[in-house]
A and B are shown apart, each in its own frame.
Chain A
Amino acid sequence: MSQKELENEVAGLIVEAVNLDQPADALDPEVRLFGEGLGLDSIDLLEVALAVSRKYGFQLRSDDPNNERIFSSLRALSAHIAQHRTR
């Protein structure tokens, strides 16, 4: 799966997980997910984390020192998933 394809898939997952009003393909891969930007809050990120673990078979954890970076954008999250997915 190419980077672009995975980003599209993760965009779809985010839109569904937090009921975003915009279509998945309109999501800017560089926009900030948490707070300013896409405007997700902590409970939204939990929803995203749950969806990621269901679909890709690994856990996003609070003690990961890279969390700021992982959740910084759709692109960063997708790259993290590509690295850690088990399915």
Chain B
Amino acid sequence: MSEAWHVAEERGSPAAIGLLAWLTVKLGRRATRWLLHPICWYFLATSARARRASKAFLARVLGRQPGTRDVMRHLHTFATTIHDRVLLIRGDCSPFEIAAHGVGELETILEGGRGCILLGSHLGSFEVLRALARLNGKYAINPVIHEPAAAKTSRVFARLSPESQDRLIRPGQLDTMLKVKECLERGEPVGILGDRPLGSAKALAREFLGAPALFPIAPFLLAAALGVPVVMFFGLYLGAARYEVHFEKLTDGVFVPREHRMETAGRWLDRYVERLEHYVRRAPYNWFNFYDFWAAHRI
């Protein structure tokens, strides 16, 4: 299953992606945004897999049979966040209205010097969070993200902002968690997207939008073993040029003895899944898992 989303994200020609990124940097967001329409129509026509996944997801969350319009809106929301990422990754927030909630709590935690795990998801934009952090200038995020070096989009974004690559931590490697621990010891936040497995088989099933799905618990085991706080974040795209970032503290950062870790991780996962569902319902078209999210549990 873990291959499914990599395949899904590997569509499109690198030259076309590079050209669109270049035009966006040269001409700006407004002058290039119309291009997203033909691109989305192209994907709608050629990617049966994404179309199917989108329809199945939207039917579940909207509680009605979605039409082509809904699927187009879904693809267009995704395309928008990728398009906007071109500017955000270079630190250009000027075209956007970004409303941030709960920043105070996050800053209090980071000022404590223990670092924290910033736990997100593939709902909305991670880049808006990173841009926000850079804007504040106080802290840089170390993202644990699967960006295969060969991936076409990764290469384009790496060229746009070489320094954004410096802090990347690759999941599933022997030293992944040692790197994470060292970042936290320096008091830095580590970003993890908690809705897909990170090269660890440790996962629990939770009811999500009415059916059980598998969620990784590695982020929670990590927080429990190191005694670091977890702050959830959700970076939602809300139409036009509006983004909304929410931070919510999940745990205070207490060390949990080994014998209680699984149980504690399960409780934290309950809360995470509950908040994820809350924000999915608030911004359903921001769901960027274009594969059968519930399939892993059925296997």
Contact = CB atoms under 8 A, between A and B. Distances in A.
Interface of A: 19, 34, 41-43, 45-47, 49-50, 60-62, 67-68, 71
A64 B199 CA distance: 21
B176 interface: yes
A67 B225 contact: no
The 3 closest A-B pairs by CB, nearest first: A46-B177, A62-B178, A42-B176
Taking each of A42, A43, A60, which has the highest tally of chain B beta carbons within 10 Å of its own beta carbon?
A: A42
Instruction: Say whether chain A's binding surface is mostly helix, strand, loop, or mixed.
Output: helix
A34 B201 CA distance: 13
A43 B174 contact: no
B249 interface: no
Contact of A71 (B174, B176, B201): B174
B interface residue count range (under 10 / 10 to 19 / 20 to 34 / 35 or more) = 20 to 34
A67 B176 CA distance: 12
A43 B222 contact: yes
Given A47-B225, A50-B225, A42 B174 contact: yes
A61 B183 CA distance: 12
Contact of B179 (A41, A62, A68, A71): A62
A49 B172 CA distance: 16
Contact of A43 (B179, B182, B218): B218
